[in-house]
């Protein structure tokens, strides 16, 4: 077979694909593994969402091609969400673009904007798809350190001028994956000013915007005046409405950027399954009180994990939002060494922080999206393992 393209030679299989294969091997050998590594909601969507999907699937009109922009009712539903939660009005024709999951839009945006020699400014630690998209486009990823002493917010003043001259995209993500950090509205305003000053497209990934605890409501970058001139925001029902496998999301904001992404999508896909759009409309327009009840379950799991981690000498901060706890690993071990040992010896899978970038070393990401009884069992196994090893 002839050689792969250069873009494929620069690409590698994502960490979680390899992890899943390893866990499958352990399970086949009789090992019971508790997975707290990936943020896939364990609870189903609300019944009215599933019922809307069932009705739509039974409708014979739903099985043809869908529209790339989705039905008007879907875009209105996304618009109403932003108006209700953030007080932001969006134009349904030019400022809202439905996506097949936010990962799809994030990856494809880089293909729409980046050429070899261009730069994407990417948080480190950060969601791996930001760098993967830049790499696939042949562009350069320049990593902005997210440090605990700066509350996991990037320092824009530390970006060299030569990098800024070549930069096109600025990626941010709050509530943050993997650190669970949140950003105040003042920081988002600073980011908008910085993006306008340097002619950057500010790309804010808001996948966890509706997973908050104790009344905390994460702000949207669209709340910042003039944000639409320089920013787009990716939103998703994966985490907010327990619909990760349904692949429903939207990009909102800057109209020219969304037009470019739309043009690319018309060459790549043929629109989503229309029945899923009907369920998405039901999710966005129906009862929302169940989200608070679901978030309370996550909060309880968070607190179980925090108590257990602190009991063995690890001291993670208490997250206000997201599905994750960002915890240090025991001293003297790398994040990969510790999480691998924990998986193989205790049957507990956490994510090593190093896969999210060099500044993730020394930490591990723990998801609260597994059943509560498994969370309790995982804590017990971690305590027992560290008790045996003296870690």
Q: Which sequence spans correspond to the domains of the chain?
A: 6-45+290-389, 63-285
Q: 349 pLDDT band (50/70/90 cuts)?
A: very high
Q: What residues have CB less than 8 Å from 150, skipping those under 6 apart?
A: none
Q: Which CATH architecture has domain 6-45+290-389?
A: Alpha-Beta Complex (3.90)
Is the pLDDT confidence value at 180 over 70?
yes
Round to whole Å and give the CA distance between 202 and 189: 11
63-285 belongs to which CATH class? alpha beta
Specify the pLDDT at position 283.
Answer: 96
Q: What residues have CB less than 8 Å from 188, skipping those under 6 apart?
A: 172, 174, 204, 219, 221, 223, 224, 227
Mean pLDDT on 334-353 = 95
DSSP state, 2? P
Is the pLDDT confidence value at 341 over 70?
yes
Mean pLDDT of the chain: 94
- CB 282, CB 48: distance < 8 Å: yes
pLDDT in tens, 304-327: 999 999 999 999 999 999 999 999
DSSP state, 291? H
The pLDDT > 70 percentage for the chain reads 99
Mean pLDDT on 32-59 = 93
Mean pLDDT on 105-110 = 96
- Rg of the chain over all Cα atoms, to the nearest angstrom: 21
pLDDT in tens, 232-279: 999 999 999 999 999 999 999 999 999 999 999 998 888 888 999 999
Question: SS3 for 325?
Answer: strand
Q: 390 pLDDT band (50/70/90 cuts)?
A: low
Q: 6 pLDDT band (50/70/90 cuts)?
A: confident
Among 162, 153, 157, which residue's Cα sits nearest to residue 119?
162
Specify the pLDDT at position 142.
Answer: 98
According to DSSP, the residues that pair with 363 across neighbouring strands are 328
């Amino acid at each position: 077979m002839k050689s792969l393209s250069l873009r494929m030679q620069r690409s590698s299989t994502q960490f979680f694909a390899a992890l899943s294969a390893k866990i499958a091997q352990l399970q086949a050998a009789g090992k019971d593994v508790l997975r707290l590594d990936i943020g896939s909601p364990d609870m189903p969507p609300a019944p009215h969402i599933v019922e809307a999907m069932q009705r739509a699937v039974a409708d014979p009109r739903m099985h043809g091609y869908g529209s790339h922009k989705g039905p008007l009712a879907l875009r209105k539903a996304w618009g109403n969400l932003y108006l209700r939660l953030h007080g932001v009005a969006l134009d349904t024709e030019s400022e809202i673009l439905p996506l097949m999951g936010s990962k799809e839009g994030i990856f494809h945006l880089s293909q729409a904007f980046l050429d070899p020699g261009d730069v994407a400014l990417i948080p480190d630690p950060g969601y791996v798809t930001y760098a993967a998209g830049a790499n696939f486009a042949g562009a350069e990823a320049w990593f902005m350190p997210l440090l605990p002493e700066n509350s996991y917010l990037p320092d824009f003043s530390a970006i060299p001028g030569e990098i800024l001259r070549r930069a096109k995209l600025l990626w941010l993500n709050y509530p943050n994956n993997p650190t669970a950090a949140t950003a105040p509205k003042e920081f988002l305003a600073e980011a908008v000013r910085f993006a306008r000053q340097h002619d950057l497209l500010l790309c804010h990934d808001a996948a966890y915007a509706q997973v908050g605890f104790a009344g905390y409501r994460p702000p949207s970058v669209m709340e910042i005046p003039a944000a639409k001139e320089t920013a787009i925001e990716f939103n998703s029902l994966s985490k907010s409405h327990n619909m990760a496998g349904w692949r429903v999301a939207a990009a909102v904001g800057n109209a020219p950027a969304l037009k470019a992404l739309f043009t690319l999508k018309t060459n790549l896909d043929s629109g989503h399954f229309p029945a899923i759009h009907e369920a998405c409309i039901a999710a966005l327009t129906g009862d929302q009180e169940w989200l608070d009840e679901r978030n309370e379950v996550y909060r309880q799991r968070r607190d179980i994990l925090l108590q257990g981690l602190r009991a063995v000498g690890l001291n993670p901060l208490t997250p206000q939002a997201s599905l994750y706890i960002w915890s240090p690993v025991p001293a003297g071990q790398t994040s990969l060494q510790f999480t691998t040992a924990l998986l193989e010896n205790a049957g507990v899978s956490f994510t090593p922080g190093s896969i999210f970038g060099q500044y993730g070393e020394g930490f591990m990401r723990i998801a609260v999206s597994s059943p509560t009884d498994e969370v309790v069992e995982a804590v017990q196994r971690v305590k027992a393992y560290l008790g045996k090893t003296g870690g």
